């Protein structure tokens, strides 16, 4: 992982501007932390067994759940039909 990161930073276009390198490195670190936090949250979440048990199954289930409960269309349908 670190080798790929340093190979990316060693690209000739990136080496032209040190501020640009620092900004890219900072953004990469933020992305890595965000991925790690999401992975830990997915490990802690439990979903119904029929949807699966893998991390990707949990992610798909949560995406569908959030999409269903946050969409204005679904809110309006619940208000009208309830």
CA 28 to CA 39: how far, in whole Å?
16
**pLDDT at residue 80 above 70?**
yes
In 22-35, which positions are buried (b, 16+ CB within 10 angstroms) versus exposed (e)?
Answer: eebeeeeeeeeeee
4-58 per-position pLDDT tens digit:
444 455 555 555 566 777 778 888 899 999 999 999 999 999 999 999 989 999 9
Question: Are 33 and 54 contained in the same domain?
Answer: no
The pLDDT value recorded for residue 2 is 46
Residue 58: its pLDDT value, please? 93
Same domain flag for 4 and 39: yes
Residue 1: the pLDDT is 44
- 56 and 39 in a common domain: no
Residues 66 and 35 reside in one and the same domain: no
Do 33 and 59 have their domain in common?
no
Number of domains in the chain: 2
Same structural domain, 2 and 39: yes
Same domain assignment for residues 35 and 65: no
Asked whether residue 38 falls in the same domain as residue 75, the answer is no
> Range of 74's domain?
50-82
pLDDT at 3: 45
């Amino acid at each position: 992982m670190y080798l790929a990161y340093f190979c990316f930073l060693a690209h000739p276009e990136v080496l032209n501007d040190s501020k640009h390198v620092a900004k890219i490195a900072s953004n990469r670190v933020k992305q890595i932390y965000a991925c790690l936090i999401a992975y830990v949250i997915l490990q802690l979440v439990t979903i119904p067994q029929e949807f699966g048990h893998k991390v990707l199954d949990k992610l798909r289930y949560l995406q569908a759940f959030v999409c269903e409960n946050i969409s204005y269309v679904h809110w309006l349908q619940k208000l009208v039909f309830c």
